[in-house]
């Protein structure tokens, strides 16, 4: 039995925590210290930390998906190639796919990529949802084979990381020990 509310498995290591903040601290070391250092600016600094983490995650996922696609298509030594070279090789003879794929892998994850496009190619578009917010406007993200990491709040970050297959996350069932009656009832002899 546990008195923790949430659980997460990340990097094959299980974690349990009372709050989502504690789980995010596993992903972003020092995250729980933000209130200590920025007491008047907690929401902004927390969002900045989650966004930076999401952008780093997007860059890593892009590379992993490209290398996996390169290996599947038989490209030799993709580790010796730049991401743009791998994208060009993976796209093969489809010039539009090649251009879109190169754009995707070379775009800073903080900027929107392939806004509103339909994407049905084998290598997914990987993006940060906050990159599609431009002031008061929300630009449409691409549709189809798309992986979006959403750092808007702790819950969306964890859920989209789970959707991307990077961790598993959920709420633990309530502690059942509270439901047990302390009165043993009649003693049977």
Q: What is the pLDDT of residues 91-121, one digit of tens each?
A: 876 777 888 888 887 788 878 888 888 888 8
d(CA 31, CA 46): 7
Is residue 46 exposed (0-12), middle (13-18) or buried (19+ Cβ within 10 Å)? buried
Q: What is the pTM of this model?
A: 0.82
**pLDDT tens-digit profile of 87-97?**
888 887 677 78
d(CA 80, CA 77): 6
């Amino acid at each position: 039995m546990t008195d923790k509310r949430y659980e997460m498995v990340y990097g094959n290591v299980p974690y349990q925590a009372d709050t989502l903040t504690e789980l995010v601290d596993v992903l972003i070391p020092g995250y729980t210290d933000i209130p200590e250092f920025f007491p008047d600016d907690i929401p902004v600094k927390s969002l900045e930390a989650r966004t930076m983490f999401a952008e780093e995650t997007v860059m890593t996922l892009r590379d992993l998906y490209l290398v996996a696609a390169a290996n599947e298509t038989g490209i030799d030594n993709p580790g010796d190639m730049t991401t743009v070279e791998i994208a060009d090789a993976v796209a093969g003879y489809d010039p539009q796919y090649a251009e879109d794929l190169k754009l995707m892998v070379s775009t800073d994850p903080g900027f929107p990529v392939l806004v509103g496009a339909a994407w049905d190619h084998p290598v997914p578009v990987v993006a940060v949802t906050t990159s599609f917010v431009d002031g008061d406007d929300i630009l449409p993200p691409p549709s189809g084979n798309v992986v979006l990491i959403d750092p808007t709040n702790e819950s969306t970050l964890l859920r989209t990381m789970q959707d991307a297959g990077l961790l598993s996350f959920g709420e633990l069932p309530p502690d059942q020990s509270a439901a047990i009656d302390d009165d043993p009832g009649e003693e049977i002899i």
